[in-house]
Amino acid sequence: MPNKGTKVYCPNCRKFTICRALSPTKAGKPKAQRWYKTDHRDISWFRRARACSSCESLFLTAEIDERILEELIALRTNLAKKNLAIVGHVRSTRPWLVRTEDVPRELAEEFIRRTAWWHTHSSGSPVRAPKHSDRIYRSHHGWTIDFGANSFLVGKAISRCSIEINKFIDGSISGNLQEIVDLKKKLIMHIRGAVANNNQDEYAGYYSLTGPDMMFGAQSIDVEDGANFIIQKSGINELICP
């Protein structure tokens, strides 16, 4: 495919890619390209069908006065605020929607004491920040700690690690013992997967690392520390490895 055409945001690739402009008829729409909403005449746009050269998906775009987009964003923000109030009521009246926390608070606190760092200390080197453990609270995700615009879901991280530890233990009695280094990699992924944004919306992927650290502004959680802590606490060191 020649690299010909304008870069446009492809909703499937979720990035700007070269997209060919096509007639709307290619997307099964009428040929006309100038549209408006009869009950909102200011919402008038120029329609194009676009074909992404990366993923070949076909989508429609609307060339429109940007102020309409600003209005959309303001409305979205407003709607989110209204829903936030409703969500509080919905969850408080339906306990089954809230995760039952089975990780003891002391364990969650110890995890934070052993993994939290502060990166702008006057010494110039990162220092451990055990006092963060005082800030743990219970959200619908279970034990949670906020770091600026993100929340680390420490209860979920430990809980998912415990499932992994149990797989390791089951393996040891079926003669199928994993290497500790492989277990550690899996634990690290569970820790990196337990982060939410400031709306308490858990990220679908894994939080990025800087060295061994998930950086939250000047704060961090060291995922190596986290995996080592879980392994040390789990007692699996007592198992006999070949």
6 binds Zn ion (CB under 5 A): no
Residue 237 CB, shortest distance to Zn ion, in Å, is 48
Residues contacting 141, CB < 8 A, separation 6+: 99, 151, 153, 155, 156, 196, 200, 202
Nearer to Zn ion, 8 or 218 (CB): 8
**How many residues bind to Zn ion according to rule CB under 5 A?**
6
Cα–Cα distance for residue pair 98/229, rounded to 1 Å: 27
Nearer to Zn ion, 5 or 130 (CB): 5
Nearer to Zn ion, 20 or 91 (CB): 20
Q: Where are the beta strands (DSSP E) in 24-108?
A: 34-37, 40-52, 58-63
Nearer to Zn ion, 5 or 126 (CB): 5
Cα–Cα distance for residue pair 219/230, rounded to 1 Å: 21
Site string for Zn ion, 36-65 (x = CB under 5 A): ----------------x-xx----------
19 binds Zn ion (CB under 5 A): no
Contact positions vs Zn ion (CB under 5 A) = 10, 12-13, 52, 54-55
